[in-house]
Amino acid sequence: MTITNEIGGLQKHLEVLETDKSKIQSTSEESKLKRVQEISEIGNIIMSINNLFDTVNKGTTKGDKKAENIDPKYKTFDDLTLRGEFAIEQLENIKTNIEDKQKLIAKLENRMQDSKYK
């Protein structure tokens, strides 16, 4: 009888361990899925920045030269921190490029206004 009771106790303990194992596996899967989603979102943001950078710099000598001189390690997703830092540099370049274009537009508008009044 004692052996039967011991076996029953061990079976209950085994069931508890299996339940705990299932909970841990479920939590692990949720964590993995969440991490994959975060990386996917980061990748989408980085690719969007890269596309915007290419669009803003398209056809400019400055942009073409910059694109040629980019170290390939900045174009990969092996190191997200490094790739993120490069994306920040791209955003700064985009901002500068847009500001330069806004200044050019303002100058052209002023010239057009001046030529109307002459």
Reading the block at residue 85, the tokens are 């830092």
pLDDT digits (tens, 9 = 90+) for 5-51: 899 999 999 999 999 999 999 999 999 999 999 989 988 999 999 89
CA angle, 107 as apex, 101 and 109 as ends, to 5°? Answer: 100
Q: 75 with 33: CB under 8 angstroms?
A: no
Closest Cα partner for 67 from 78, 53, 47?
53
Residue 79: pLDDT over 60 = yes
Q: How far is CA 59 from the centre of its chain?
A: 26
Q: What is the pTM of this model?
A: 0.63
- pLDDT value for 48: 94
- pLDDT value for 114: 79
User: DSSP state, 59?
Assistant: T
d(Cα 105, Cα 118) in Å, to the nearest integer?
20
Q: How confident is the model at residue 83 (pLDDT cuts 50, 70, 90)?
A: confident
Residue 105: pLDDT over 90 = yes
d(Cα 101, Cα 88) in Å, to the nearest integer?
20
